[in-house]
Amino acid sequence: MNISILGCGWLGLPLAKKLVEEGHVVKGSTTSREKMTQLTSEGILPYLLKLHTEGIQGDITAFLSDADVLIIDIPPGLRGDPDANFIGKIGRLQDYIKKSGVANVLFISSTSVYEDSLEIPVYTENDPANGISESAKQLRSAEELLRNSESFSASIVRFGGLFGPGRNPVNYLSGRKNIKDPKAPVNLIHLEDCIGIIIEIINKKAWGEIFNAASPEHPSKEEHYTSKARENNLPLPEFDQGHASKGKTIRSVNLKEKLDYSFRQVL
């Protein structure tokens, strides 16, 4: 297949490499000219592209032409820029997707579309996304915009917190004090499972679906990160025990029903 991956970052680059290994023709984008040689050396056809609210910089038409599948793999970017207008960027992109004739789109979203609360609710794909943070609202709108399009069929994967080579959340928490929500369950997913799930969606042509994707293990934040800090001989994180914890548990019915997917990595 011809697969275009918008955003060859921490997840997108190893995903692109795996798809090349499996024999697909893969176009990959980056915003950095220097990274293009790295993409080429991995057998990925590199494109320099940047989404703005006003339009798209780079040859988006060539990037989308002939693609059987487009994977959108860029974060909303509100942490670096609280005024970022992600929905505007996805709107511009959608105009080009419609013109290109791409039939299938996979949008990488996040479990942050579900709200944390004191009741620690369990959410599956059958529950409405109810997140009210700015980033949750923008992700929810982007999901809806893509799913409601009549020109192509979109699936959404809502990943929990990503971890894997070079990204271990305990490194940010180690030694910190007053960390909120110690009793909140963790909702994490390893890079290998992210890639495994995306490949199953493509292979099984599971279009028009929503997938929640977090490991089925949900120890509390306090248990998990204390044990990870011990394992790695790092200073222990310290938690705020003075306030009740808000959180959620992310489950999936569709990973089993539609993909028959079993997780490969433990936490």
Ligand X SMILES: NC(=O)c1ccc[n+]([C@@H]2O[C@H](COP(=O)([O-])OP(=O)(O)OC[C@H]3O[C@@H](n4cnc5c(N)ncnc54)[C@H](OP(=O)(O)O)[C@@H]3O)[C@@H](O)[C@H]2O)c1
Residue closer to ligand X, measured from CB, 64 or 242 = 64
Q: Which stretches of the chain are assigned E, i.e. beta strand?
A: 2-6, 25-30, 45-48, 50-51, 56-57, 69-72, 104-110, 122-123, 153-159, 161-163, 188-190, 210-213, 249-250
Residue closer to ligand X, measured from CB, 158 or 258 = 158
Nearest Cα to Cα of residue 108 among 134, 84, 56, 143? 143
Residue closer to ligand X, measured from CB, 82 or 242 = 82
Which positions ≥6 away from 1 have C-beta within 8 Å? Answer: 24, 25, 68, 69, 202
Residue closer to ligand X, measured from CB, 159 or 261 = 159
Residue closer to ligand X, measured from CB, 110 or 220 = 110
Residue nearest to ligand X (CB): 9
Q: How far apart are CB 227 and ligand X at their closest, in Å? A: 20
Q: How far is CA 100 from the centre of its chain?
A: 24
Interacting residues toward ligand X by CB under 6 A = 7-12, 29-32, 35, 49-51, 73-75, 77, 108, 110, 159, 161-162
